[in-house]
Amino acid sequence: MSISNLSEPSHGDISADRKNLTPCSIVIFGASGDLTARKLIPALYHLFKEKQMPSDFRVIGFARREKTDDSWRTELRAALNDFSRTKPVDDKVWADFAKNIFYCQGDLTETPACEKLETLLTSFGSAPLRENLLFYLAISPSQFGEVVEQVHRTGLLNKEGAGWQRIVVEKPFGHDLASAQALNRELTRYAHEQQVFRIDHYLGKETVQNILMFRFSNSIFERLWNREAVDHVQITVSEKIGVGGRGGYYEEAGALRDMVQNHMLQVLSLIAMEPPVSLEAESVRDEKVKLLKSIRPLSRDDVAKQVVRGQYFAGAVSGEPRPGYRQETKVNPASNVETFAAMKLFIDNWRWSGVPFYLRTGKNLPMSASEVRIQFRPTPNVLFAAKCGGSLGANALTLRLQPNEGISLRFNGKVPGTTLGARPVRMHFSYDSEFGAYTPEAYERLLLEAIAGDATLFIRRDEVETAWQIADSIRAGWEGKSLTNREFYAAGTWGPIAADDLLAQLGHEWHEPQVIK
């Protein structure tokens, strides 16, 4: 069963909400890294192709390696063949785009290198190209402070003055609350908080952005979005891949720091927040922070009852053998690092009092999927429930964030025949069917918003720090404890037995993501 929109789809008409953009220069620090070739340049190329970039702009790659403008352009053109979301790459569009790409070689922590960058920016001739600057820090967080200081000393970054300057930083935003606070102090020493754009690519996904639209523009659902109608909520982010070559990173991060502290708490805040007073950036971010601060604090005893970790051992995913986590490269053979995390959280506010929110994420699970399932309260066990028994399930609304992006509503229908039988049926809305002609990548939207100065989809300082408080309380509860047998799971399964035990406490069970055709 499917649902169609009531008017003709606009398939690619993105001009209606065209941003008012000023000419600017985009400086990418760490331009030799994978992020630039895989995400940033393809995103900027597609924005240019869709006529979404400012009327005049420059892209400057800054890195230590010796390169010329032409050699860097050649490298990026080759990478675009692999990473462009549309194939083949349009040679004419690329040629026009590449004219705006330049390379600046130097050590980003040294003043002469930043002075060289300033000279390059001045050579463009236009004042906006010299004064309106977007600094993208595609580098290690340990270098953020030095780079911000250097560009400030060179006069390229100011809290006040001509034009605008913004800093875009990638996660991780620290590894705990203390380090996040220190990092925030470094970033805001030479820039206002309003100039700092902390990027989480999850917030750039169309399906994640649509959560607020779905909730607050459809009265039939918004009036059900509370403790009176909702039994519980499940948020699942499953990954089919293992840690692969990222064993060293994962030993430091684990599933909690890698996924829960950022992506999953972001989705939770959008699902559960109160309606903002407007769509202005600070109004939206205020409500997200209020929601995170409403999550019931977890003591060490609470962590033992409400949080589960897990680690995969050798198994098979879709018939492909996978080694155990402890056999992965750069992993301690006796590691207790979690590759799976599940938790039951409560939000202590008027709307959600008493409603459990279940979050889970893991590596080497049967499929890669991200979804939110709103499970509604069952009907009274008097009429059909008494006759149909277990075949009469509770209604559920599923927001599929990836893949097969869409929204499904599950309800009960009578099975045709002479007897009274019920079967769950589903109405499904598919993004691909309705809007498939234009599906921008997350980085396209986020870069466009950063150039426009709209911080709605970026993470504010207090938001980062509140999320770390939650994660730190969980890590404190795990400290000094080894994994138990019920916390290990075979690669290719849906996680440890302990995760099923967690939901069984309240008579619930996990609903696995389904392949939607």
Distance CA 364, CA 238 (A): 8
Which of these, 119, 163, 123, lies nearest to 23 by C-alpha position?
A: 163
Q: Around 99, how many Cα atoms within 13 Å sit in the side-chain half-sphere?
A: 7
Cβ atoms 477, 304 nearer than 8 A: yes
Q: Is 373 left (phi over 0), alpha (psi -120 to 50) or beta?
A: beta
Helix intervals (H) in 217-363? 219-222, 247-255, 265-272, 281-294, 300-306
Q: Which residues contact 188 (CB under 8 A, 6 or more apart)?
A: 196, 461
Q: Residue 70: phi, psi to the nearest 5?
A: -65, -40
Which of these, 63, 8, 73, lies nearest to 41 by C-alpha position?
A: 73
Element housing 199 (H / E): strand 196-199
Query: What is the signed CA dihedral for 221, 226, 231, 233, rounded to 10 degrees?
Result: 80
Distance CA 94, CA 91 (A): 5
Catalytic residue positions, numbered: 263
Q: Is 68 exposed, middle or buried (0-12, 13-18, 19+ CB in 10 A)?
A: exposed
Token pair for 212: 């607020």
Rounded alpha-carbon distances, angstroms, from residue 445 to 40, 59, 280:
11, 17, 17
